[in-house]
Structure 1
Amino acid sequence: MTTPAARLRAQLTLPVICAPMFIVSNPDLVLAQCRAGLVGSFPALNARPAELLDDWLTRIETGVAESRAADPAAKIAPYAVNQIVHQSNARLEQDMAVCVRHRVPIVITSLRAPGEVVKHVHGYGGIVFHDVISVRHAEKALEAGVDGLVLVCAGAGGHAGTLSPFALVAEVRRFFDGPIALSGAIATGDAILAAEAMGADFAYMGTRFIATREANASAAYQQALVAGSAADIVYTPYFTGVHGNYLKQSIVAAGLDPDNLPAERQAMAFDKPDSAARAWKDIWGAGQGLGSIADVPSTAELVARLAGEYAAARARLLGA
């Protein structure tokens, strides 16, 4: 009997789940990722107003189905929707009803143990990944019945933890043998292979896809990624109330000193989309892997490059 991770991997060209990025991830990017053989995803909250979520899901499902029909031999990956399980997300129940109606194949949950979400998704045969930054978070998510974990380690873009991937993967693998996706400064094919070697089933990549032509990101944002390095990343809880990694350049442009941010934290407020969006629209999230970004290709071009790097890394190691 094959494992859930193996069944999902068989549908992919590379073992990659593309991270859902606030504002940046849209149907164009998700479809390009799925057509290239990677799991494409977006946060449900990106579809605004809420009524737009149904349209987005219909468009993605239609595009995936058409691509599979046009080339049955191609690996066209499933898509995922990210749900923020937080008391201030007034849309959660409504958005989940839409996801259930569309039978979204993969739901990625964030912030709190997703017990009710898991029940709804399992009810139609979907699977749930939950992102965590610690062993305790992982244990709570598994108690809630999730199928897989996203380990968000040091260097990941946006909301991120501080643990080394070597530490967190090893500790989680002591009690969980199910699907694990690893997040944290993964921007090359070599890093994808490294995630597998470390014990993860999938790499979880976000920042690298901000600098693609399909992403909903400004030219200034993308060029800042191309020009930047790990030294340009600031880790702070100030903007959303949860620790995250942001581009120093955008903090300076907002009139703030990245080395002396106010002590008080902003409250997370998913019931106020404009307020929540400011942290990602004006203050740009990015991971420490941006030093590997040198251009803004199409998603298809980027995935082809990643596949070449991944194959070369495998050959290099096997030939050692």
Structure 2
Amino acid sequence: MSGDSHLPKALQGLRIPAVASPLFIISVPALVIAQCKAGVIGSFPALNAREAEGESPLLDAWLKEITEELDRHNQENPDKPAAPFAVNQIVHRSNTRLERDLEICVNWKVPVWITSLGARVEVNEAAHSCGGIALHDVINNKFAKKAIEKGADGLIAVASGAGGHAGPQSPLALISEIREWFNGPLLLSGSIATGDSLLAALAMGADLGYIGSPFIATDEANADQGYKDMIVDSSAEDIVYSSLFTGVWGNYLKGSVKNAGMDPDNLPDGDVSTMSFGSDREKPKAWKTIWGSGQGIGAVKSQGTTEDLVSRIEREYHAAYARLQDRMAV
């Protein structure tokens, strides 16, 4: 297989070409550290680190914990160092913490920055100021071009079937259109839960896969046990695509919608103007347990450790590649 020397250093030398996507509430230091030690880039949303009023920024404490633990691991395992980690910044006008969180991430020299819901020059400049790279998630080619124009180093193509906020376009179309003009780092998000789908992402033209939902059912994930169980017990047909809950279209577990007393097949549309990431945002209590998930969860058959999950995907990835080599040789 072709090497990864064309990629920024932070994206090179991974156990498998994959980034673990930042999961709302679920991604905490324990999961990020386990992902990095397993050889994939672990990540978390900065907004997951929420301290009580008057307390020191929890984001600072989380970055200290992650940085020090990965440094310790690397010193003890020089032949098998951990992968870098990433922090996701919600670049939306309602995120009143953004400026503060950018400063904290610069102080800790975060190596990979993932930006969502808005492309802003100053955020990319902040990442570059500490030696980091900025990856921006997009749902179409128009937004992809805007992100690169504003200084992003790479793109995350969030295609149909991705967990959480997801675009409507086929990954085949989205990757193809972006690759017509962009030769930089390109990740694909959308139902990547097996080694086979990871290899397919690379065959389409992506450099790495972006994997989220399978990590929900890991021991290290900060998810309700009922959420983990529903991931294991569900498949693609158990996913509903709706804009009701945040104002932006996304994929959710039908079972969690039913448990909240709603009909997943008859949900009204949401209003994008109500989308808020501020500390004072209010949501109906019934929505607290609306659980996001991508369509690839049919591959998740049981709960296990993060290492177990990465090992499975790695085995499948190499088996799929060997199988494809045999077929191409005929």
Give TM class, smaller chain. Answer: over 0.9
* AA at the equivalent of 1:17: V
Root-mean-square deviation (CA), in Å?
1.7
For 1:248, the equivalent position in structure 2 comes to 254
How many angstroms does 1:31 deviate by? 0.2
TM-score relative to the length of structure 1: 0.96
How many angstroms does 1:274 deviate by? 6.2
How many angstroms does 1:15 deviate by? 0.3
How many angstroms does 1:279 deviate by? 8.8
Alignment of 1:44-123 (within 5 A): 44-49=46-51, 51-123=57-129
For 1:144, the equivalent position in structure 2 comes to 150
Q: Deviations over 1:177-212 (max 9, x none)?
A: 000010000001111111111100000000010010
Q: Of 273, 278, 291, which residue of structure 2 is paired with 1:284?
A: 291
What are structure 2's unaligned runs of at least 5 residues? none
Separation in structure 1 between the aligned mates of residue 40 and residue 140 of structure 2, nearest angstrom: 26
How many angstroms does 1:281 deviate by? 4.3
**CA pair 216-167 structure 1, distance change in 2 beyond 3 A:** same
The percentage of aligned residue pairs carrying the same residue is: 51
Separation in structure 1 between the aligned mates of residue 263 and residue 110 of structure 2, nearest angstrom: 42
Q: Of 186, 191, 200, which residue of structure 1 is paired with 2:192?
A: 186
Secondary structure at the residue paired with 1:259? coil
For 1:227, the equivalent position in structure 2 comes to 233
1:296 and 2:303 matched:
yes
For 1:128, the equivalent position in structure 2 comes to 134
For 1:271, the equivalent position in structure 2 comes to 278
For 1:214, the equivalent position in structure 2 comes to 220
* AA at the equivalent of 2:213: T
Q: Of 175, 183, 195, which residue of structure 1 is paired with 2:181?
A: 175
For 2:21, the equivalent position in structure 1 comes to 19
1:198 and 2:200 matched:
no
How many angstroms does 1:273 deviate by? 6.1
Q: Deviations over 1:248-289 (max 9, x none)?
A: 111111111111223443721111366369798410000000
How many angstroms does 1:3 deviate by? 5.0
* AA at the equivalent of 1:282: T
Q: Of 293, 313, 320, which residue of structure 2 is paired with 1:313?
A: 320
* AA at the equivalent of 1:245: N
Aligned length: 319
* AA at the equivalent of 1:152: V
Which range is displaced more, 116-125 or 53-62? 116-125
How many angstroms does 1:103 deviate by? 0.7
Secondary structure at the residue paired with 1:108? strand
Secondary structure at the residue paired with 2:40? coil
Conserved 8 A contact 1:11-1:76: no
Q: Of 157, 162, 169, which residue of structure 2 is paired with 1:163?
A: 169
How many angstroms does 1:113 deviate by? 1.0
Conserved 8 A contact 2:114-2:134: yes
Separation in structure 2 between the aligned mates of residue 268 and residue 290 of structure 1, nearest angstrom: 27
Separation in structure 1 between the aligned mates of residue 86 and residue 134 of structure 2, nearest angstrom: 9
Secondary structure at the residue paired with 2:201? helix
Secondary structure at the residue paired with 2:7? helix
Conserved 8 A contact 1:13-1:75: no
**CA pair 197-276 structure 1, distance change in 2 beyond 3 A:** farther
Separation in structure 2 between the aligned mates of residue 239 and residue 39 of structure 1, nearest angstrom: 28
What are structure 1's unaligned runs of at least 5 residues? none
How many angstroms does 1:121 deviate by? 1.1
